[in-house]
Amino acid sequence: MSSEPPRSRPVRHHDHGQWLGRFTDRVLVVCPRCGGRAVVLPLPHLENPKYFSSLSFQPGRLTCAGCGAITAWAAGERGGALAGVVPGGTKDSFVRQPLWLQTRCAGRILWAYNEEHVEALAAYVGAQLRERYASPTMAMFARLPAWMKSAQRRDEVLAGLATLGNLAQLSAPADRSDAAHERGGRPRHHGAALFRGGPY
């Protein structure tokens, strides 16, 4: 992640309506075996999806370069449809592991899926002027919590995002953030359905 000072960041941010699911093509998580950094990716033989929403249904797997752990994931079925995941929260929506990129910030937990997600959040938070997307219902930035959007919290949130950017470069179990641990929360495995001709 860039370490440029806040004053050199873009003054204006244009929200193009990106969905949070856009960043689920590569998710950094805590390895269930060694506690180091693992990554969740779609299976390598699959073509890039035409729509980012398809990422919620594509089979994938967790792999850890540190210990060799592998965990597979595939969408279940519900009423003749594939039951996909709903992104969001401090756990990966596919294999339900804590996200690697988590840190304590402003009395909350600040999290991201990967470096690109961190950069997108930093560009938004650091901007002095923010132009909203015309239809913000599912847009990621419109759904951010108020504390992340607050001008009074800008420097604090940017510092937290810089911490996440640094964490993305680390991978050993000892590098794990004290915020990246199991915590209670409602499972979000099957919040969407996809009707299609056959399985992936």
pLDDT in tens, 21-68: 889 999 999 999 999 999 999 998 777 766 667 788 889 999 999 999
Summarised one tens digit per residue, pLDDT across range 147-199 is 999 999 999 999 999 999 999 999 999 999 999 987 654 444 445 544 444 33
pTM for this structure? 0.83
User: Please, is 66 exposed, middle or buried when counting C-beta atoms within 10 Å of its C-beta (0-12, 13-18, 19+)?
Assistant: middle
3-state secondary structure string across 95-158: CCCEECEEEEECCEEEEECCHHHHHHHHHHHHCCEEECCCCCCCCCHHHCCHHHHCHHHHHHHH
Report the alpha-carbon angle 186-154-15, nearest 5. Answer: 70
Between 83 and 116, the more confident residue is 116
Q: How far apart are CA 39 and CA 27, in angstroms?
A: 6
Q: Which of 1-5, 69-73, 156-160 has the lowest mean pLDDT?
A: 1-5
pLDDT at 186: 46
**β partners of residue 61:** 41, 72
What's the confidence (pLDDT) of residue 152?
A: 95
Closest CA to 113 of 175, 165, 190, 176: 165
Q: Rounded to 5, what percent of the chain is helix, strand, coil?
A: 25, 25, 50
Tens-digit pLDDT profile for residues 74-100? 988 877 778 888 899 999 999 999 999
